[in-house]
Amino acid sequence: MVSDSIPTAPIPSAANTKNLGKKKRTNRSAKLKQCKIDARREQWLSQGAVKNKGYKDGGDDNHAPPMHARKDGKRSLEELEMRPTGEENDGSIHQDSDLESPSYSPTSVNSSLLGGNNSGTHFTASSSSSSSAGCCSGNITGLDDWEAVADALAADEKHQNLCSETLPEHKTVVQMVSSCEMEYGSNLGTRESKPESALLISPASGNSRAWRPDDAFRPQSLPNLSKQLSLPNPDRHCGGGITWARTAPPYSCPICCEDLDLTDSSFIPCPCGFRLCLFCHKRIIEDDGRCPGCRKPYKCESIETEARMLGGSLTLRLARCCSMIERS
Amino acid sequence: MATVNGQTETAQGNINSAKQPLPPAKSVDSQSVLRRLQSELMALMMSGESGISAFPEEDNIFHWKGTITGSKDTVFEGTEYKLSLSFPNDYPFKPPKVKFETTCFHPNVDLHGNICLDILQDKWSSAYDVRTILLSIQSLLGEPNNSSPLNPQAAQLWSNQEEYRKMVEKLYKPSSA
């Protein structure tokens, strides 16, 4: 049972890491950090989901995790830090989590199951305390803090084995969460005032509130990572992602600035790779028919050929019609 | 009552659009132009490009004022030029009309401030935006196309850069606005 339950957990996380890999290549700004944090959060949730069979039964989970959390909160914090960093480095979370979670839960299968849940709930607990801490400290200034958090995390990665100072680690988590929330709040003012209702209304908007305790037991409202990455994220648009949008595959049409839907984003009308939405493409085809990216005429477009048929060779068509009639 | 009123209004709107299909289409167009221009403004402000800037006029986002500073190591170094950009309703499928407001002694700029630049005419692409236009004009200042000048005197003088610099300084009237 142990061998069955534990290896299944990292599978979604590995998939997430692949998705993350794409983002990493394209996006080197602060958004990347947000993605990482999203992925980590997502991984915790998925681990909790897989490992804990009584996932939907909030009653079972509630009594066990706090015990763990209080007993060895220090350990679970370490565990909390180490798992995501392991994943971030090379996707070799398997070793870390497989080795560690049994060691932290020495008794039985049951405790290993709880271990997955334990970390999850503790994570949310730390976040709830963190938001208040962030409010108290009040030195959260958006992107600068992101940088600081990233540096702190990088430093932690290097000294993974030490992990002697739990307090600084906790602080990094605190800053991470609170600055994250600050950014959400500044970009989407309504979210901050009613975060939980906002969650219920728009689960897939990238504003995943995995930090709140009630969310951990509400799987419907939890967005999955693939959704977050594929959908245009309002935060990414607002938060200075404009330079980024030029280099990465665009989330919005460069011509009309409307968001690209699934059809649009898989539509590459020109070999030069310039993407645009179908509406703008149609408009250009009706106009001069040249790709905005390279100025070469679009080729092999059904609309274009139809227009030619109608415009240029009406007589030819008529002749064919006549011949058809003659034959019949 | 409010909902009832809303329904009747939308119904009337539908009737109107059925009778006159053209105006709604235009309004949709201008909506998308608006969106594009707003997005460009955002991008321009976020990019923090040095040497160029642009901002819409007071209450009309279809008319922008831009500024270009002369690039370093050109005869235009240290000068700043104001431009006006006027966007058509079918922007970005058609180029904006760009003119110098500040007098600019340049082979490809006439006395009225009209600019002869291919990307503002036949080489326009809807992928260009205000930023690329202003950067193009900025580089045009240092690298004029003397083969088809709008200002022949400037084109003739271009070979003598020292004299040209004096002429630029003499004619340069920075706008107070």
Is residue B116 annotated as a catalytic residue, yes or no?
A: yes
Residue whose pair of structure tokens reads 């935060």 in the numeric block: A235
Give the contacts of A186 (CB within 8 A, at least 6 positions apart). Answer: A142
**Contact assessment for residue A118 and residue A102, using Cβ atoms and an 8 Å cutoff:** no
* CB contact at 8 A, B17 and B24: yes
Distance CA B86, CA B61 (A): 9
Superfamily of domain A250-301: Zinc/RING finger domain, C3HC4 (zinc finger) (3.30.40.10)
Q: Does B123 touch chain A (CB under 8 A)?
A: yes
- Residue A245 Cα, gap to closest chain B Cα (Å): 10
Cα–Cα dist B107/A1, whole Å: 82
Instruction: Give me the sign of the Cα torsion angle A236, A241, A244, A250.
Output: positive
Nearest CB among A242, A255, A258 relative to B43 is that of A242
Give the contacts of A2 (CB within 8 A, at least 6 positions apart).
A102, A109, A112
The percent of chain B in helix, strand and coil, each rounded to the nearest 5, is 45, 20, 40
Evaluated on CA atoms A142, A147, A151, A153, the torsion sign reads positive
Q: Beta partners for B85? A: B64, B98
**Tens digit of each residue's pLDDT, chain A (328 residues):** 444 444 444 444 444 444 544 444 444 556 656 756 776 776 666 665 554 444 444 444 444 444 444 444 444 444 444 444 444 444 444 444 444 444 443 443 443 344 434 443 344 333 333 333 333 344 444 455 666 666 666 665 555 544 444 444 444 444 444 444 444 444 444 444 444 444 444 444 444 445 454 544 545 544 544 444 444 444 444 433 333 344 456 688 889 888 888 888 888 888 898 988 999 999 999 888 889 999 888 875 444 444 444 444 443 444 333 334 444 3
- ∠ CA(A189), CA(A42), CA(A37), 5° rounding? 60
pTM over 0.80: no
Which one, of B103, B118, B113, B111, lies nearest residue B148 by Cα?
A: B118
| A interface test, pick of B119, B124, B126, B135 with most A CB neighbours within 10 Å | B126
Question: Which domains does chain B possess?
Answer: 30-171 (3.10.110.10)
Q: How many CB pairs under 8 A join A and B?
A: 38
CB neighbours (10 Å) of residue A100? 18
For chain A, the structural domain boundaries read 250-301
- ipTM value > 0.90: no
B162-to-A158, A308, B73, B156 alpha-carbon distances in Å: 59, 56, 12, 13
Which chain B residues are within 8 Å of A257, Cβ to Cβ?
Answer: 32, 35-36, 38-39
Q: Alpha carbon B81 to chain centroid distance?
A: 13
| Kind and range of the H or E run holding A58 | helix A58-71
